[in-house]
Amino acid sequence: MRSSRTVVTFLSTLVVALAATLTVAGPAQAAPVFKAPFPCNQRWTYSHHSAEVRLALDFVRADGGTTAGTPVLASAAGTAFRYYQADGAGNYIVIDHGGGWKTYYFHLAAFSVAHGAWVGQGQQIGTTGSTGNSSGAHIHYEQLYNGVGQNIVINGWSLAPYPGYYNQKYLTSDNGCGGGTAFWTWGSGVRVRTDAYLSAPTVTTLAGPTLVHVLCQKQGDWVTADGYTNNWWSRLRDQNGFITNIYIDHPAAQLPGVPVC
């Protein structure tokens, strides 16, 4: 017969062994405060297709602007990864926000960030397009937690229940509305484009010297104008587009104190 001390020792060892094999699930990580994946003050309509595997929403513009070519913005900060799927998502970006949270942006016409780059909330990550399996320009947008699609939540408010068609529900963005470094522009008739390329569509035109807020800058097409040549472009907060740094009233080709997009 075992002594009581032997029994106690045996039971203690058994408890430790069982505890080592158990995995205790921790609490769900709080989601970032996601914002709309399109620029400040733009109004878009959205819908959900029942064939979607995950709880995605498709967004198209509903404010008179053109959907194709409009910047797609990071809805929260994180690390961006670029992918391509010819028969599905086309050009798409996944942003890992940490804590198990990711967002997906499908059918991009072009990428605006490098693979593996850190992006801030409101930073342009691409332009709206219709690449892959798509019948027209739109932003296909998803929020996932630990690989599982979630109902889309913007600024803490759920967009569910989803409409099955466009023009039933709308969302106006406050993404990218704040921040930026103030500069004056010079010249007249300066075009603001959706991206840092001369082929990109024009968003608006600055009639004369204008106080602008530059969120970030990046290299794009080389531009020669008024005796200057430069390939750096500034993303403007309030105009939701890019202008060549030639027309920023500062002597440096790359603006000091302004982050790279």
Contact partners, residue 187, CB within 8 Å, separation at least 6: 208, 209, 226, 247
- What is the reported pLDDT for 238? 79
Domains recognised in the chain with CATH numbers: 43-172 (2.70.70.10), 181-247 (2.30.30)
- What is the reported pLDDT for 9? 42
- What is the reported pLDDT for 182? 82
- What is the reported pLDDT for 40? 83
Contact partners, residue 108, CB within 8 Å, separation at least 6: 72, 90, 91, 92, 93, 125, 126, 127, 128, 129, 131
Q: Could you tell me the mean pLDDT of each successive run of 10 residues in the chain, 261 residues long?
A: 42 39 48 91 91 89 94 92 96 97 97 90 92 96 97 93 96 83 91 93 90 87 95 88 95 86 75
Q: Give the torsion through C-alpha atoms of 206, 211, 213, 218, to 10 deg.
A: 50
DSSP-derived secondary structure for 183-226: EEB-SSSEEEESSSSTTSPEEEEE-S--EEEEEEEEEEEEEEET
Q: In what order do the strands lie in the sheet with 211-225?
A: 181-184, 211-225, 228-236, 241-244, 190-193, 202-206
- What is the reported pLDDT for 123? 86
- What is the reported pLDDT for 28? 56
- What is the reported pLDDT for 180? 76
**Integer-rounded Cα radius of gyration of the chain:** 24
